[in-house]
Amino acid sequence: MFTKKKKVANDLNAEAEEFFAAKLTGVKREYVLKGETVHALRGVDLSVPKGDYVAIMGASGSGKSTMLNLLGCLDRPTAGKIWLGHDDITTLDDDHLSEIRSTRIGFVFQSYNLIQQLTVIENIEVPLFYQGNASLRSRKRCIELAKMVGLADRLNHRPTQLSGGQQQRVAIARSLVNDPYFILADEPTGNLDSKTTAEILDLLDKLSEQGRTIILVTHEDDVGARSKRIVRLRDGLIESDTRLRPI
């Protein structure tokens, strides 16, 4: 009887893990700066279900960037657990974390981070090259992604030949090429004018409607309002967690 109950519990835990793209439990991150300990995160619990669109907000120093770095496997917590799907990434070595960054997370940065010498298609392909997965078949997928983000007539253009909004569209397409667990967007509209910002947010809305999981870090209220959920940080803790729209 005990074995059966234990199996049922394990099955339920597996289902719960499968439901979440990312989950933080009791996460703390401390830094030592000039001999003083900085408590960037003080014990954060956060679950991001698959298909959610979460805006992480807060004032400078609230812990937004720290949380982004932890979710992006760019840093490790001082305490607590971080799950991406079934994997507790706090137990993984640097090589495994690098693999997760390249295969399970789609990054979109404020400064686009495109390679200037490469064309639109080649920039979208970059994650595949790092994995040794570039092929004629993957090239076709990259073309489809470029078309999806509205760049069908810019396939062979280089970043210097593109507007800021077009460059961010390339970055979004690149973030999707590996079919990631979630898109992690760091101030994706920070360098864009209001019209182009609206266009990029419309694209993120479209991806959300398609079931993509998006975690967006922003300090702009109008950008956060486009999400399905706003999580506000203050002094390393979650101050509020507000559901705006259903998943």
Per-residue model confidence as pLDDT tens digits over 217-226: 999 999 999 9
Model confidence, pTM:
0.89
Q: Residue 45: its pLDDT value, please?
A: 97
In sequence order, what are the residues at sequence separation of 6 or more whose Cβ sits closer than 8 angstroms to the Cβ of residue 207?
A: 172, 176, 183, 214
Position 18 pLDDT exceeds 90: no
Range 14-18 average pLDDT: 49
The residues, any chain, with a CB within 8 Å of residue 96's CB and separated by 6 or more, are 89
105-158 pLDDT per residue, tens: 999 999 999 999 999 999 999 998 877 777 777 899 999 999 999 999 999 999
Interval 58-80: pLDDT, tens: 999 999 999 999 999 999 999 99
83-97 pLDDT, tens digit per residue, is 998 889 999 999 999
Is a pLDDT exceeding 80 seen at residue 4? no
Q: Any residues with CB less than 8 A from the CB of 85 and at least 6 apart, and which?
A: 17, 18, 20, 21, 104, 181
pLDDT at 6: 43
Distance of alpha carbon 50 from alpha carbon 181, whole angstroms: 8
What would the two tokens of residue 243 be?
Answer: 């559901």
| Mean pLDDT across the chain | 91
Dihedral of CA 89/87/91/132: which sign? negative
Instruction: Work out the number of other CB atoms within 10 angstroms of the CB of residue 69.
Output: 16
DSSP SS3 for 171: helix
Residue 211 has pLDDT above 70, yes or no: yes
pLDDT in tens, 163-208: 999 999 999 999 999 999 999 999 999 999 999 999 999 999 999 9
Query: Which residues neighbour 82 within 8 Å (Cβ) at sequence distance 6 or greater?
Result: 22, 23, 24, 25, 27, 70, 71, 88, 89, 90
Cα(206)–Cα(220) distance, integer angstroms: 20
